[in-house]
Structure 1
Amino acid sequence: MSRPVPLLNTANVLTTLRIVMVPFFIWFMVADAGTHGLFRWLAVAVFAAAIYTDKLDGDIARSRGLVTNFGKIADPIADKLLIGSALILLSALGELPWWVTILILARELGITLLRFVVIRYGVMPASRGGKLKTVLQTLAIFLYLMPLGSLLGGGYAAAAFAVMMLAVLVTVVTGVDYVAKAWRLRTAGR
């Protein structure tokens, strides 16, 4: 018989901290208003710290057996809040095309809703492709957030755009894969 996992544990505290960081990230981005000054660097620092807590809380939860229902729900919500706010802000500042933000957010929302729809038939765990998607989105956003374009020139902007396009491609492909898995799961469950 396994012991119950306390709700208040290190992994859940880190997940909650990530959610709390999102408004600070947003505030720094808005305060910077595209000037790429101190507030932009602070936004980058908060984003980096929040992303690190994402890796850390997952590692801690798995290694110490601290997986909870709260964590299973709050962790992806925290991720989507952080990634979604970054994409929306970058597009609002004119630094990222809106179609990229809309496509990524539509996929994220759609797959999240799809998971809830098919949960009675089984759980759709994150795939390796889904994890790659998250890494690529995070890297692309980080490159866009870094105010280095004026220092490094057009090559930096082109590299950031290329990574974002790769992230978009993997986002779409894994979205289609999740829809196929959900269809199979639902069909098998009937």
Structure 2
Amino acid sequence: MTTDFIILHGSAGNGKTTLSRRLHEHLRSPYFEFGWIPEFRSLSPSVQITQREEEQLSFENLMLVVKNYNRHGFKNIIITDLDDARIRDIPIQFEGFNYIIFTLYSDEDEVIRLRIQNRNNGNSYSDWEQSIKLNSLIRGRNKLPNEYRILNSSKDVESTLKELLNHLESHLPSRNNKIQVSKNDFYSYIKD
């Protein structure tokens, strides 16, 4: 049950943070949320940088960090909370590595709304309508190489964790990183 990188993805309200923490506890492996990367526009007002440039810089920094951990022998490195458009970059960034993408989704919009409105995991994101739109987009597009879709509407955390671990155990990595999904099938929160 060893892979280089485990990416947990999905719209807000689908359990990424909770499941990432449980997976981290179970595997005892490094865990990174994209939101932990500093926001440079607010740290250095003397440097003019757009939101797109900031996100690009932060993504590049995260890739350097996780690949460095891997170079030092760490496995099962958990990455979560990437912008949806960045998920399309994963097969390119991790070409030659053993990686797996778990995309959590819901088949019930009301579940997403209630989870976002009643969350207690420290996440302050509250736009449940946008999350429902992203969830629908994810459900309708083709999978990326090494991607598994996990329906997480009515499962408890332990059941979903067990399903993820079963996929990790039986996963045979695809070496074909050809992306069969258009950029238009992905959403980005970046507006500039």
Same fold (TM over 0.5): no
Larger relative helix fraction: 1
Larger Rg belongs to: 1
Bigger relative contact order, structure 1 or 2 (CA pairs below 8 A, ≥6 apart): 2
Larger relative strand fraction: 2
